[in-house]
Structure 1
């Protein structure tokens, strides 16, 4: 009987084991400690080499862990079935067997146990007679090694858990210090990579995530065949998916906040058919913390967006309620919508004559001035007039066309005032699904708040037109013409003025009546409007006399226009009438030549004299009076 308390091998072994346990330095690693333990045993027992097998609880086998010294590892299996070890019961507990067990391949096995529980075994190369160690010493070695393995496993677990929860605390602080969704998602992945470097992860998100990062993000598709992911999302509980054929286990943890579930964290554990139970709690806590952080970040982003939207509406309403002209109003709105929504084309369509006619308001983008826009305008007008609802189209195609090009993303919002459809705003982009639903709601609010300003602006300009417009002819009034000619002679380089008189107008009144006479005046006025530019001014001078002023138009061009008017009136009026026309001209160049300033009064007198000559020399003609 050997006194084990005094046996130098046991004393040295315990001393080595004690020295190996160092948790203060932060260098405690389970595999490293095991290798050091085996090195100490190898040195003290003076054997050629040692193999360690450690018990795998899930598979009920002893699994190859680490070799030390000169031993042929190819001679030994990677796993040893516990049931194949002699003198073991069905439960896998050893039955007082502490001596060396001979196994095939000229090797001996020493079982390692703690409290009658098999923890693993040591395999030495050699035969029983090569060892001069008593049963009592073997018993102590077995117990001490088993106890040491259990102890470092416990310490490793504790330290690992401590490290994980330190990381969880660190990442929680980062979560709640950031209101950026991409940052939160990045922290989730980074933490998992640090804690589980051999696992694979994906973030299955339920909302649009326009991130430009390299994070492993997938869309959580509601029609997906991934039932476990959808179960986690719908129920808010962790789901598992074990696959023997693929040799892996998958965990789905919901990213859940107080108001709902924002996605699912997918964690794939390789080389196992059951997800490690001790990892589930940590991943669950991480997912819950991340879900709350995502919710906070999303709520923060929503609040910022709402503030920005309200600022846009407030600023736009303020600008529109100022004394802007209609064209300026439309241009301002077009610029605001283009910049806020990233729109390529913005149009404002006014409906006239109970919706039968349309008018594209100035300030709309250039696309709405070309013929190609007409089919978009007409189709949207028909839909809005019929349904009286705003349109939100993500991938638009014309019903009778397979054309791939064109505008795919379209928002059309009616401009409704006191129940009357005044028109609609049309916002378009060629990229499908370019506009978000939040943008669509904001556009509706923007147009709703702006319609009254549009209407007021149109009414104000209509009132202004009525003030400066002749009621019968719809040409400008004489006072407006006077004002424009004075302004032109100060600002422009030249201009042509003409006075027009309907020949024998009294005879028309006497023959056909005063109503027919008025209709003749209107016919001549319409011909004037059709034959001059938008910047030219046609006016009613008085009675049957009309006038035209052409700013920045030379005399030759003015003469051509006057002759054309004389010809068209003689050919197209009913009852047929003719006109006489007196033309005068001014230019700053001619003023410089004579060193005498021209005046509006002089310009009028020359045109009046020319008209008198035309009337006295046969009528139905144009006469120019140069000076």
Structure 2
């Protein structure tokens, strides 16, 4: 037996042993085994198989040889199934008869394996494709679709590695081999597959691996790229690729349907939120009820950390933070941020969407990053804004930004109506000149207090020699004096106290749950502040009366005692406080 026959016998024995031991194997595994076997027995530097569906062949010659390379055709008569590329360290020394026999044996082996294995594998794969397609169309969840894709790949291609490159960010898919397909990625082939919608392959002989990028296509676009890495295979098998493309197309359609379904559900949810909000805000709520309702809705729907509502006018620099805003806007909002809100809103009247406020030089010390600002064109020359912030950068999505715009747009009328209603109420119960309450409002509040409280104090004030002021300075200055005295009264009262214009130059104060002793002190303090903070300086005389529940008292009697005490104070030389 010559060297060629001995070598041929060894190769056949190794192949037979492999087939006996490996009862189940893939075509890739078999080719890898044959490449290593021939490399060892032929003392070759490198051996690679290229099957017929992977390149064009020259059918005229069984093999062609160069100094250190041999291309062996796998053929029988006119049937060619591929070639074997063998690279030697030095000039090839094998006979033609040996190469003929080697070609014939490899042809028989691969033909037999392919004919039986391919039909079995194809049947199994298409059964699985039918099964997974049914699951795809029965589920409208993106996560379920992707789970089924990878489950099918693991079952059919256990020797491959695979990743799904998606342009959208799915935080809940971290348990799956999913990556982001970034715009600045260095993987140009993946981007080419995504942009063109065509399959891209990268074959590396030196690294002994093949990469395939298959776009996940739906009817409306491409949603990602399926990356498949075939190790120990330098050319990706075309039959495998056909099936993978079919699987990817099926998955792409299912993925699109799931996304459209979720988008429709989100749209329905958004419309429901807008409709419910509009309905609720059209029930004649007060302004603080409107802002409170909107704040809760925004926090729940957008997971916002702080929500603020503010109003301002073009004529002055002041900005009013409305009740219902969160504490940050009431107490911790920096003056620079307030100024920016007002300046930006008045200048553009356009919505603002910022992913990171730290990029603004004027907000170095701000504790929030993500910000959405939606202007509101209110009534009576007022401009408003809804500001929503979160500590994390890029926390809000653009879809949330659009939803907030729509929500505020549908709510602006309710804000305007509430503001107008409260302004109208204020005009009815407020004295136009002094901005103190009207006498009727004061009467009603005192009667209500007498029903529910245990005691209270009433103060009646009269500006001393007010006629002389009018005669000396004119009625316009007289009005200014009334405004100044009214301002002193407002500055020295609690929120629960009531200051009112009683009539003419007489003003009144009601102090619920304040006893006579403390009431006298408050009257004396106001008397002193009036003389100090009016120009031209004037004085007031005060009559103070007190009621308690144990006595059968009335508002009329309370007023009469205060009037008597005021007359007494006047008789003592004016600028006095007297109790009655």
Q: Is the pair's TM-score, using the shorter chain for normalization, greater than 0.5?
A: yes
Normalising to structure 1: TM-score of the pair? 0.77
Displacement of 1:458 after TM fit?
0.5
Distance 1:118 1:500 in 2: 123
2:393 to 422, 427, 432: 432
**Counterpart for residue 56 of structure 2:** none
**Counterpart for residue 125 of structure 2:** 164
Displacement of 1:400 after TM fit?
3.1
8 A Cα contact 2:304 2:389, kept in partner? yes
**Counterpart for residue 474 of structure 1:** 435
Distance 1:275 1:385 in 2: 62
Distance 2:76 2:534 in 1: 127
Matches within 5 A, 1:344-359: 344-354=305-315, 356-359=317-320
Displacement of 1:228 after TM fit?
0.4
8 A Cα contact 1:253 1:264, kept in partner? yes
**Counterpart for residue 209 of structure 1:** 170
**Counterpart for residue 407 of structure 1:** 368
Matches within 5 A, 1:432-581: 432-581=393-542
**1:603 lines up with 2:564 in the alignment:** no
Displacement of 1:60 after TM fit?
12
2:571 to 601, 616, 623: 616
Greater radius of gyration (CA) = 1
Distance 1:326 1:290 in 2: 51
Question: Residues 486 and 331 from structure 1, CA distance in 2 versus in 1: closer, same or farther, beyond 3 angstroms?
Answer: same
Distance 1:221 1:264 in 2: 12
Distance 1:267 1:550 in 2: 81
**Counterpart for residue 261 of structure 1:** 222
Normalising to structure 2: TM-score of the pair? 0.83
Question: Residues 353 and 226 from structure 1, CA distance in 2 versus in 1: closer, same or farther, beyond 3 angstroms?
Answer: closer
**Counterpart for residue 104 of structure 2:** 118
Distance 2:17 2:330 in 1: 78
Distance 2:467 2:396 in 1: 65
Question: Residues 367 and 404 from structure 1, CA distance in 2 versus in 1: closer, same or farther, beyond 3 angstroms?
Answer: closer
Question: Residues 94 and 412 from structure 1, CA distance in 2 versus in 1: closer, same or farther, beyond 3 angstroms?
Answer: closer
2:183 to 209, 216, 222: 222
Question: Residues 348 and 401 from structure 1, CA distance in 2 versus in 1: closer, same or farther, beyond 3 angstroms?
Answer: closer
**Counterpart for residue 315 of structure 1:** 276
**Which runs of 5 or more residues in structure 1 are unaligned?**
1-29, 39-53, 66-73, 97-109, 122-145
8 A Cα contact 1:607 1:624, kept in partner? yes
8 A Cα contact 1:55 1:61, kept in partner? no
8 A Cα contact 1:468 1:479, kept in partner? yes
- Deviations along 1:405-446, one digit per CA (max 9) or x if unpaired, are 611000001102589662111000001111000000011111
- Deviations along 1:11-69, one digit per CA (max 9) or x if unpaired, are xxxxxxxxxxxxxxxxxxx999941899xxxxxxxxxxxxxxx999989966549xxxx
**Counterpart for residue 296 of structure 1:** 257
1:250 to 200, 211, 217: 211
Displacement of 1:456 after TM fit?
1.1
- Deviations along 1:600-622, one digit per CA (max 9) or x if unpaired, are 22322222222121111121011
Distance 1:418 1:624 in 2: 46
8 A Cα contact 2:459 2:544, kept in partner? yes
Distance 1:456 1:55 in 2: 74
Q: Higher helix share goes to which structure?
A: 2
Structural RMSD (CA): 3.4
8 A Cα contact 1:347 1:364, kept in partner? yes
Distance 1:235 1:229 in 2: 10
The structure, 1 or 2, with the larger RCO (C-alpha pairs under 8 Å, 6+ apart) is 2
